[in-house]
Amino acid sequence: MKLRALLFDLDGTLADTDRLHEQAWLEGLARYGIQGDHHFYQTQISGGLNPEIVARLLPQLSQAQGAAFLEQKEARFRELASEVQPLPGLKALWDWAQSQGLRQALVSNAPRENAHYLLKRLGLMFDPIVLSEDLPAGKPDPLPYQTALQHLNLAPQEALAFEDSPSGVRSAVGAGIPTVALTTGHPPEALAQAGAFLCIPDYTDPRLWDWLRALG
Provide the strand spans (E) within 91-172.
103-108, 129-131, 159-163
Contacts (Cβ under 8 Å, ≥6 apart) of 22? 38, 41, 45, 46
Query: Could you confirm whether 202 is annotated as catalytic?
Result: no
**C-alpha dihedral, 159 to 163 to 166 to 167, nearest 10°:** -80
Say how far apart CA 163 and CA 147 lie, in whole Å: 16
Tell how far CA 39 is from the center of its chain: 19
In single-letter form, the type of residue at position 143 comes to: L
Distance of CA 99 to the CA centre of its chain: 24
141 annotated active-site: no
Q: Which of 9, 18, 164, 205 is catalytic?
A: 9
CA separation for the pair 73, 157 (Å, rounded): 37
Sign of CA dihedral 73, 141, 151, 100: positive
Residues marked as catalytic: 9, 11
